[in-house]
């Protein structure tokens, strides 16, 4: 399901950074290192262009894909014997009910104060996308950060390689500002995005969201304090977790791109 979009400074900043990194990589780093008109130059330019296009495409999808709305008709079926987990409030023991949206919340759903609605299997609200990361767009969000970290590392390698070339003209001095800005941009981005990819792979292996991880830290502390062992209720083992997440991603792919949408 597509969603509307309003102007966001952070999204504009990310878009400008992608464009800047692409232009500086293709027309400065590759050209200075191997020459843009040479065969290695054209191959590197084509490869980096592919990464940039996929990065922008997945970023656009992550922004405009609705993360998942709770159906207005949802009511928890407490008599369903096949459902082993019914999430309840931490205090009071009642079923989870959102006072702001005035309806029950399914397991793993949370209310986003920024979007002002409940999101299915909410991971977090990403200000860099001006959207939540939830059930319906988590896959494309993960694909985006993978493409982004690959593009940043690739660009950083090309930047370092172009610095090893000795030039007799003054082109290196004229591009000094480009190199400085690119270095200050690419190094922290590569580290941050690399950590982010590793973090989400860890969450997939544990079948957790970011919210559930932080809630689990407190739950583990309280369990240990009471002499009990805490286990995440959705963790069924690293392999099974990965298979279930991969199957979920496949289902979302089919719903978005293979089967026609039913109104």
Band of the pLDDT at 221, cuts 50, 70, 90? Answer: low
According to the model, what pLDDT value does residue 90 have? 52
Measured N-to-C along each axis, helices 238-253 and 138-163 cross at an angle, to the nearest 10 degrees, of 100
126 is catalytic: yes
Report the percentage of the chain scoring pLDDT > 70. 77
* pTM of structure: 0.84
191 or 243, greater pLDDT = 191
110 or 225, greater pLDDT = 110
Question: What is the average pLDDT across 241-255?
Answer: 62
Query: Is pLDDT at 126 greater than 90 in this prediction?
Result: yes
| Burial group, residue 154, by CB count within 10 angstroms (0-12, 13-18, 19+) | buried
User: Of the residues 115, 126, 132, 152, which is catalytic?
Assistant: 126
Alpha-carbon span 23 to 187, nearest angstrom: 17
| pLDDT tens-place string over residues 167-204 | 655 555 678 899 999 999 999 999 999 999 999 999 98
């Amino acid at each position: 399901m597509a969603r509307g979009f309003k102007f966001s400074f952070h999204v504009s900043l990310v878009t400008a950074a992608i464009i800047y990194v692409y232009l500086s990589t293709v027309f400065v780093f590759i050209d200075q290192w191997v020459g843009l008109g040479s065969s290695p130059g054209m191959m590197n330019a084509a490869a980096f262009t592919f990464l940039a296009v996929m990065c922008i495409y997945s970023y656009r999808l992550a922004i405009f894909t609705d993360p998942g709305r709770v159906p207005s008709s949802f009511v928890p079926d407490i008599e369903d014997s096949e459902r082993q987990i019914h999430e309840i409030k931490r205090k009071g023991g009642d079923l989870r009910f959102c006072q702001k949206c005035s309806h029950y919340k399914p397991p793993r759903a949370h209310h986003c104060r920024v979007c002002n609605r409940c999101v299915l299997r909410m991971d977090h609200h990403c200000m860099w996308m001006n959207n939540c990361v939830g059930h319906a767009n988590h896959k494309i969000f993960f694909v985006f950060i993978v493409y982004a970290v690959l593009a940043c590392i690739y660009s950083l390698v090309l930047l370092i390689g172009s610095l090893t070339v000795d030039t007799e003209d003054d082109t290196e001095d004229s591009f000094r500002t480009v190199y400085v800005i690119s270095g200050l941009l690419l190094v922290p981005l590569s580290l941050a995005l690399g950590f982010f990819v590793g973090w989400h792979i860890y969450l997939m292996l544990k079948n957790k969201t970011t919210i559930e991880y932080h809630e689990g830290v407190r739950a583990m502390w309280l369990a240990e304090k009471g002499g009990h062992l805490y286990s995440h209720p959705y963790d069924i083992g690293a392999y099974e977790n990965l298979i279930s997440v991969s199957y979920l991603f496949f289902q979302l792919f089919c719903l978005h791109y293979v089967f026609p949408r039913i109104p």
